[in-house]
Amino acid sequence: MRRDTPFLLAALLLAGCTVGPDYAGAPVAAPRAASAAGFVRTGDAPVTADPPLARWWETLGDPVLTRLEERALAGSPDIAIARAKLDQARAVFRQEKANRYPSLSGSALYAHARLPGANLSGESSDDGSSDSSAANLNVYNIGTTASWEVDLFGGQRRAIEAANASAEAARASLADAQVALTAEVAQAYVDLRDRQRRLALNAKAIAMQAETLRLTRQRFDQGTASRLDVERLSQQLDSTRADSVPLAAQIEAYLDAIATMTGAEPGSVDQDIGGEGPLPLPPAQVAIGNPAALLKRRPDIRAAERTLAAETAKIGQAKAAQFPRLSFMGILGIGGSRFSDLSHLDDFIALAAPQLSWSFLDFGRGGARIRQAEGVRDEADARYRVAVLTALRDAEDALARFRARRVTVATLARAKASADTAAELSQLRYAAGTSTLIDLLDARRQQVTAAQSLSAAEAGLTGDYITLQKALGLGWEEDKEPPAGGGQARAK
């Protein structure tokens, strides 16, 4: 048996040891939600338990919005940033995996040394002493160098584990960026359509008020109306005209915002969106699933959980650094003291050098690094719990607002229907000669006002629907590239 065999066997046995805590999975931050017990409060909200769609904006039935969402997902700079971070994390993971294996490098060397008092020939001078004159030495060498550090206590394995979890966290962060982007695009589009409709309704109100003011001035000239009536109507008309200015400015701002979110210059989507269009409304039934599915689907929760796994693995890295490190270095090459020696291919220079190093006296540095890693892990644990509780609160709050807004829309719809009926009756009375034109115009003004209120409420309802979809963690699709560890990603 070779002398170094027991040493190598001991190294291999130690290489199977991995120090540090093993990740046991995410902590249970919401026991009721984890058991799929259902949301605490749903009230009379029109919800179903069917699994929701990832491309939730298609349920709004607006082809223009669908095209904008596709353009945003393909061209948004925010998505490009998230993808770049994912590529970086995956590259780190591949690098950590490669660090487990030996490294091999080639080298070519020429060195010249002048050694005072050296006698390289070994011959003695006439008086029996060595030659004290300086000697010149040339060294020529071409070869390869190999190095390898044995992962005795699992520090490198923990590094790979941490890098893999970090890559999965970056992957979840990309999905979270998609969720935020699709919600922002939809909200900006809904606000745009609402402002366009309100601007059109405001133009109708201006026309009616201008006509009312004209008739009142005629009555004032005839002595049947007061100057106060004229001034009040004139002030009301100016106020309504002033309302058009911010609405027009908001329309331009929303158009620019949508263009920016799609990765285009401001003004580039104006033609695609066009003028006033219908306001998209949510479906009659909204699918929300159950809390357990929500916790698995929300990418921000997934990112927090994977970050916790990465920080747990880093504790093992810090603990492994306290133990001895074993490395091997080998050199194989050809050469000698003359340039012609490089042609002697059968004359090899070989060197094998195992090295064992251990910083056993570091005055507490290693322990401090371990405590720091444990503190970072505890912070990640707390952040995960916050992410879970925030997700559940967001879902319940969004659901409550959506439920309340539906009641508001229904109430304002009835008010709008009453205003429409009043306008029709006023039209009939005016045609029969039993009411004045001013009464008819006032009824139409109230009709326009009711339509404006209803439009704002409907836009708020769709906005609450968008917020609900974001709270449910929808709006992202699986990345085409598999996770860094090669496993299957969790289903949406």
- pLDDT category at 490 given cuts 50, 70, 90 is very low
Domain parsing of the chain, residue ranges = 18-96+168-323+377-471
pLDDT of residue 336: 73
Concatenated DSSP letters of 430-457: HHHTSS-HHHHHHHHHHHHHHHHHHHHH
- In this predicted structure, what is the pLDDT of residue 347? 73
Tens digit of each residue's pLDDT (9 = 90 or more) over 88-101: 999 999 999 988 88
Segment (H or E) for 333:
strand 325-336
Apex 29 CA angle, 26 and 35, nearest 5: 90
Both structure tokens of 367: 């322990």
Residue 428 has pLDDT above 90, yes or no: no
Consecutive H or E run containing 269: none
pLDDT value of residue 344: 73
Residues paired with residue 353 on neighbouring β-strands, in sequence order:
329
Determine the Cα–Cα distance for residues 35 and 301; give it in Å rounded to an integer.
17
Tens digits of per-residue pLDDT, 243-284? 899 999 999 999 999 999 999 999 888 888 888 889 999 988
Query: How far is it, in rounded angstroms, from Cα 361 to Cα 366?
Result: 9
CATH of span 18-96+168-323+377-471: 1.20.1600.10
- For 15, phi then psi, to 5°, come to -65, -20
What lies within 8 Å, CB to CB, of 16 at 6+ separation is none
**Those residues with Cβ within 8 angstroms of residue 242's Cβ, 6 or more apart along the chain or in another chain:** none
3-state secondary structure of 327: strand
- The span from the CA of 140 to the CA of 338, in Å, is 7
What are the tens digits of pLDDT across the range 19-39? 888 888 888 877 776 665 555
